[in-house]
Amino acid sequence: TQLLEQSPQFLSIQEGENLTVYCNSSSVFSSLQWYRQEPGEGPVLLVTVVTGGEVKKLKRLTFQFGDARKDSSLHITAAQPGDTGLYLCAGNSNSGYALNFGKGTSLLVTP
Amino acid sequence: SQTIHQWPATLVQPVGSPLSLECTVEGTSNPNLYWYRQAAGRGLQLLFYSVGIGQISSEVPQNLSASRPQDRQFILSSKKLLLSDSGFYLCAWSVHNEKLFFGSGTQLSVL
């Protein structure tokens, strides 16, 4: 099982601040995905990155896949209360049938 | 469009009682199906996955079992629940081991 380490575990910031969360592994992944989960609901896919060094933008969210495809980061610009949630990264090895998830970063954005 | 249904949303069961959680998918054929468990808003632990009818792979040994009696139906069961079985159970589907689409989850409390 490929281990995905996410940091920080918890993050509490004020509206308007910028933040970056990280997802790291010693394993190489064919792709990495980021999900956001709100309390009492299932995770929802935000983005999939597949190419080493790839950068994808989703409005105020910027996702980057490491050159070696072992790590990824999520940067949020000018955070809003609606960004509050649990951010999970998940990776799929070349031979795996199922995604392995990190433990997540719990983000709280206060007005 | 594809949809996934998972029920019940919440369940309170005594220790030693049986369990049956059901998940159905609509709008797709031969999906990969998954059961995950999540403890207290943290990372997802893969319990079972299935690539076809009657094909079940178990990731974690425990007193839970899964069955796939129909192409788009996935059932999680237990004969006797333990306190440690409490958690948030999520069903998900995917095609070609790519992005996961999650159900809304079942919050199980074993008392």
Q: What is the pLDDT of residue A65?
A: 96
Contacts of A29 (CB under 8 A, 6+ apart): A2, A69, A70, A91, A92, A93
Q: What is the domain count for chain A? A: 1
| Domain-embedded: residue A57 | yes
CATH number at A68 reads: 2.60.40.10
Q: What is the domain count for chain B? A: 1
Instruction: Give per-residue pLDDT as tens, B75-90.
Output: 999 999 999 999 999 9
Q: Could you give the CA distance from residue B71 to residue B95 in angstroms, rounded to a whole number? A: 13
Decide if A10 touches B, using CB distance below 8 A: no
| Domain-embedded: residue A62 | yes
Instruction: Give per-residue pLDDT as tens, A97-106.
Output: 678 899 999 9
Q: pLDDT tens, position by position, for chain A (111 residues)?
A: 568 999 999 999 999 999 999 999 988 888 899 999 998 899 999 999 999 999 999 999 999 999 999 999 999 999 999 999 999 999 876 556 678 899 999 999 999
Residue of A nearest to B48 (CA): A98
| Domain-embedded: residue A31 | yes
Please answer yes or no on whether B57 and A97 come within 8 Å at the CB atom. yes
Decide if A101 touches B, using CB distance below 8 A: yes
Residue A7 is inside which H or E element, if any?
Answer: strand A5-7
Please answer yes or no on whether A86 and B41 come within 8 Å at the CB atom. yes
Q: What count of CB pairs under 8 Å joins A to B? A: 63
Q: Which two tokens stand for residue A59?
A: 């409005």
Q: What domain range includes position B98? A: 3-110
| Domain-embedded: residue A1 | no
